[in-house]
Amino acid sequence: MPRIACLFVPDFPLAALRRAEPDLHGRPLVTVAREDPRAPLTAVSAEALALGARAGISAAEARTISNALLVRQPHAEVLHSAEEALCDVADSFSPRVENAGGGVVFLEIDGLRSLFGAERHLATSLVARLRRVGLEGRAAVASTKTAAWLAARTSEGVDVVSAGEGRRRLGSLPISVLDPPDDAALTLERWGIRTLGQLAALPVTAVGWRFGETGIRLWKRAGGEDEEPLVVRPRPCHFEETIDCGYAIDSFEPLSFLLRAALERLTARLDIRGLRAGDLRLSLRLEGGGREEHVIAVAAPTNEVKALLALARLHFDRRPPRAAVEWLRLSAVAERLRPIELDLFVPAGPSPQDLGVTIARLTSIAGAERVGSPAVIDSHRPEASAIERFALTPPARARAEPNRSATNGSTPLALRVFRPPASIEVVCDRGRPDFVRGSGATEKFGGRVVTLAGPWRLTGEWWRDSSFARDYYDAELSDGGVYRIYRERESGEWFADGVYD
Q: What is the architecture of the domain spanning 4-160?
A: 3-Layer(aba) Sandwich (3.40)
| pLDDT score of 367 | 67
The least confident of 5-19, 296-310, 404-418, 423-437 is 404-418
CA–CA dist 399, 346 (Å, integer): 12
Question: What is residue 79's DSSP assignment?
Answer: H
CA–CA dist 234, 231 (Å, integer): 10
pLDDT at 75 over 80: yes
Give the Å distances, CA to CA, from 149 to 78, 111, 334.
Answer: 24, 21, 31
pLDDT in tens, 145-164: 999 999 999 888 899 988 87
User: Which range, 248-257, 367-376, 409-418, is most confident?
Assistant: 248-257
| C-alpha dihedral sign at 366, 369, 375, 380 | negative
Mean pLDDT score of the chain = 84
Q: Looking at residues 29-37, what average pLDDT do you find?
A: 89
| pLDDT score of 339 | 62
Nearest to 499 by CA among 444, 435, 459, 433: 444
Q: Which helix (H) or strand (E) holds 461?
A: none
Q: Looking at residues 73-85, what average pLDDT do you find?
A: 91
b/e per residue 388-421 (b: at least 16 CB within 10 A): eebebeeeeeeeeeeeeeeeeeeeeeeeebbeeb
Q: Which CATH code, of 3.40.50.150, 1.10.3470.10, 3.90.550.10, 3.30.1490.100, is assigned to 239-336?
A: 3.30.1490.100
Q: Looking at residues 135-144, what average pLDDT do you find?
A: 92
pLDDT at 364 over 70: no
| C-alpha dihedral sign at 68, 72, 78, 84 | positive
Domain spans in the chain, listed from the N-terminal domain onward: 4-160, 171-222, 239-336, 414-500
C-alpha gyration radius of the chain = 35
CA–CA dist 136, 49 (Å, integer): 18
- Our measurement of the distance from residue 8's CA atom to the centroid of its chain's CA atoms, rounded to an integer in Å, reads 25
pLDDT in tens, 446-460: 888 888 888 888 888
| Beta-sheet strands, E only, within 364-414 | 373-375, 386-388
Nearest to 323 by CA among 362, 292, 361: 292
| Beta-sheet strands, E only, within 401-443 | 415-429, 432-439
| C-alpha dihedral sign at 453, 459, 460, 466 | positive
**Helix or strand or coil: residue 492?**
coil
| C-alpha dihedral sign at 418, 420, 422, 428 | positive
| pLDDT score of 15 | 93
| C-alpha dihedral sign at 99, 235, 278, 253 | negative
Q: Looking at residues 371-391, what average pLDDT do you find?
A: 76
pLDDT at 398 over 50: no
Residue that wins the pLDDT comparison between 391 and 147: 147
pLDDT in tens, 420-452: 888 888 888 888 888 888 876 567 888 888 888
pLDDT at 397 over 60: no
| pLDDT score of 489 | 86
Dihedral, CA of residue 43, residue 47, residue 53 and residue 58, to nearest 10: -40
pLDDT at 90 over 90: yes
Domains 4-160 and 171-222 share a fold: no
Q: In the CATH scheme, what is the homologous superfamily, with its name and number, of domain 171-222?
A: 5' to 3' exonuclease, C-terminal subdomain (1.10.150.20)
Q: CB of 265 within 8 A of CB of 240? A: no
Residue that wins the pLDDT comparison between 210 and 166: 210
pLDDT in tens, 221-260: 888 888 888 888 888 888 889 888 878 888 888 888 889 9
Q: Model pTM?
A: 0.71
Q: Which residue(s) pair with 453 in the sheet?
A: 474
| pLDDT score of 395 | 47
Q: Looking at residues 373-391, what average pLDDT do you find?
A: 76
User: DSSP string covering 209-261, please?
Assistant: HHHTHHHHHHHHHHTT--SS----------EEEEEEEEEEE-SHHHHHHHHHH
